[in-house]
Amino acid sequence: MIIVTGGAGFIGSNLLRALNARGSGDILLVDNISRPEKLGNVADCSVADYMGKVEFRERIERAQDFGRIDVVFHQGACSDTMATDGDYIMDNNFTYSKILFEFCVSRKIPLIYASSASVYGAGATFVEASAHEHPLNIYAYSKLLFDNFVRHRLDGLESQVVGLRYFNVYGPNEHHKHQMASVAYHFSKQYFQDGEVRLFEGTAGYGDGEQRRDFVSVDDVVAVNLRFHEYPDKSGIFNVGTGRSQTFNDVGAAAINSIRRSRSEPELTLPELVESGLIRYIEFPEQLRGKYQSFTEADIARLRDSGYIAPFLDVNAGVGRYVERMLATTGDD
């Protein structure tokens, strides 16, 4: 059996679908379905059983038997970087993860879990080392704290534990995340609904829309998870990004031009998009000042050294694929 926590969420549901495509259906889906819109993410997935997060946590705390478990993909977390309930975030992201860690290592069950590039804060170096880790909010701190907990135990482990630091992930099944959905999602919806895409004005030395992030397709994120599952002798903490930062302007242009192609309309350059009012710049939010990563770029040397050699989709290809799936499921609205 395979366990996927957060299995109805964004990355978890894409992972379920990929496991199904490989012929795996003996899956325990664990999630909190307090927001039932997530169920649409997994309605067409094949799983053997479902368990609520609270029940699952209680059972692993009591060390109850689940039968043979091949791997646990721990994707469940409170991922709202603007959340302010520190006690809840620490319990959900740190304490719960520690309990699951102890359950897995005591039974030699491989554990592959979701960490986050938010641990690097506003730094300019994105290498998996404590000197570069400076979280700006409680979410990032909860992720870093668990990474450090794992680091202290890695040398003595007899089973696989892998932490994957996701950079800016985008792709299908993120609609339920609302404000925390990717900019690729928001830009596409803005263009569908309003005929324009709104980007932040320049800040922190960057020009209008020129802030840069490492935007990574959920298809690539899933592929990395599955690669580590195939090689259980690999453990550690690894960045998961493309290794190349791109601008928000790049994402906005990719979203617009993908939609324009679907309408048989000509693609436009960035200056043309701005001049025609299809891209508009808005004031940078005051509440994000000092809490915003204006630049991220994954150093993926450790990931490559682990044996993952597949190429990553760039923004044009990845956002284009994403928009095609949006259009296939919802239409051009």
Domain boundaries, the chain: 2-171+215-242+300-312, 175-211+246-292+321-330
Structure tokens at 40: 């649409």
pLDDT in tens, the chain (333 residues): 999 999 999 999 999 999 999 999 999 999 998 777 888 999 999 999 999 999 999 999 999 989 999 999 999 887 665 666 788 899 999 999 999 999 999 999 999 999 999 999 988 999 999 999 999 899 999 999 999 999 999 998 999 999 999 999 999 999 988 888 999 999 999 999 999 999 999 988 899 999 999 999 999 999 999 999 999 999 999 999 999 999 999 999 999 999 999 999 999 999 999 999 999 999 998 888 777 788 999 999 999 999 999 999 999 999 999 999 999 886 543
The per-residue pLDDT for 42 is 94
The per-residue pLDDT for 122 is 85
Active-site residue, from 113, 139, 185, 322? 139
Is 291 an annotated catalytic residue?
Answer: no
Rounded Cα distance between 308 and 301, Å, is 10
Active-site residue, from 177, 206, 281, 291? 177
Query: Domain 2-171+215-242+300-312, what fold?
Result: Rossmann fold (3.40.50)
Q: Please list the helix, strand and coil fractions of the chain in percent, rounded to the nearest 5, in that order.
A: 45, 15, 40
Rounded Cα distance between 231 and 243, Å, is 22
The per-residue pLDDT for 36 is 78
What is the sign, positive or negative, of the torsion defined by CA atoms of 164, 170, 171, 174?
positive
The whole model's pTM is what? 0.94
Is 139 an annotated catalytic residue?
Answer: yes
Residues 3/73, Cβ–Cβ less than 8 Å: yes
CATH class label, 175-211+246-292+321-330 = alpha beta
